Structure 1
């Protein structure tokens, strides 16, 4: 059995894309090499529900010190599915994001928006028997970045999806329905297929919202197949 499914070049962006100038320095300029996984990479680690704290999937409370974070309260939820649409249970899903002002809690982020003292911006959860994940947070704000003269990133949340081994990690990010910056984003613009770009957009889900409290968005993560989510760290295949 092959370790990788070849990339669909009609959907996945090239590793080096001048419209996103960082890729020119970071992207590989030589053919990629597929390395044999070691036994330890294939067989571990093993994640259990006992490894997750009670507030790990609640970004509104898991870093709060003097109150709750400022911003639009949202629930993010969905399912992790395989290429046949079957749920994938026991997947460790990590997520991290900017605060409502568009600033990350990171020493290298120098954007002028203030740090929210009650918002850490990261969490994790494990999918249940039906492949479902969910977490509560505040909707991240857009922020400028040094790409072209006045480029802004749309609101987005980063996701890391772990399987049962160290080598089974996929990284991606989702966006939000109705955001006008999506059409102007240079990073999303590297994806040539419009349908593939749309699969990265979470849809408003009022059925999952908490009335008078929290809006909800749904976003499913598909690991393989024709409707696969695009993963930024699996350029050799997914």
Structure 2
């Protein structure tokens, strides 16, 4: 992300995993082999972008329990997704704790069985006919965002003989321009699969891993309905959230 005068800030590359990480097998072929290109002077396209305050949002864009229901389904009857209902919320702030207002936050995830609604996902878990797995919202004036969804399930992937991805939700934060888009994942506090994941293992700094873990927040939970997980996004600076596309 950029600061108020639109200048790019150099990254701390010790915070990020090496480009070549053989333990994460599918990344090997796409890892860069040439020297990095220095960004001398950002172009207009890298400094400007859409005004998301004018983006028209649907009534249930941030509610994944409702935004993919079967036509005519009613609350409490058929048509609601299967799985543990949760709330995912947090603030988008800069390194000084200043909120990033009216920015677009998007998320996508697997269903409760660990399967994505994607044509290339062939995992044997069934699709949920009432769950699409995608949502979006705008942060408010204080930088807060909120989603209601289903806790995703873990799933196997062919990185090793018995390799599993921890339950996670992908998150995209859009800054003032396309070039400032940041992407990360939220894992769930206490998941024993987190330290076993080859993708997580590419990150040497334990503090960087901690920035990707959503924390249970009973105060924000809905009694008899949803547990809540807080996941704040620090978009730059020394305490920034680890973003996988940096």
TM-score tier, shorter chain, comes to over 0.9
1:6 paired with 2:11, answer: yes
1:84-103 CA distance string (max 9 Å, x none): 11111111000000000000
Q: How does 1:33-182 map to 2 (within 5 A)?
A: 33-35=37-39, 36-48=41-53, 50-65=55-70, 66=73, 67-182=79-194
Unpaired segments ≥5 residues, structure 1? none
Q: Runs of 4+ in structure 1 displaced over 3 angstroms? A: 34-38
Question: Offset of 1:208 from its aligned partner?
Answer: 0.4
Q: Tell me the equivalent position of 1:22.
A: 26
Give the distance between the partners of 1:31 and 1:56, measured in 2 at CA. 41
Normalising by the residue count of structure 1, what TM-score does the alignment of the two structures yield? 0.94
Question: Offset of 1:6 from its aligned partner?
Answer: 2.7
Cα 1:17/1:50, change in 2 over 3 Å = closer
Cα 1:21/1:197, change in 2 over 3 Å = same
Give the distance between the partners of 2:42 and 2:135, measured in 1 at CA. 28
- Are the counterparts in 2 of residues 208 and 216 from structure 1 also a CA contact under 8 Å? yes
Question: Offset of 1:164 from its aligned partner?
Answer: 2.0
1:183-224 CA distance string (max 9 Å, x none): 111100110011111111000011000000111000100011
1:87-138 CA distance string (max 9 Å, x none): 1111100000000000000000000000000000001001011110000000
Aligned pair count? 233
Normalising by the residue count of structure 2, what TM-score does the alignment of the two structures yield? 0.91
1:184 paired with 2:160, answer: no
Question: Offset of 1:42 from its aligned partner?
Answer: 2.1
Question: Offset of 1:165 from its aligned partner?
Answer: 1.4
Give the distance between the partners of 2:208 and 2:11, measured in 1 at CA. 16
Give the distance between the partners of 2:118 and 2:23, measured in 1 at CA. 26
1:46-87 CA distance string (max 9 Å, x none): 112542111000001000115100000000000001011111
Question: Offset of 1:16 from its aligned partner?
Answer: 1.3
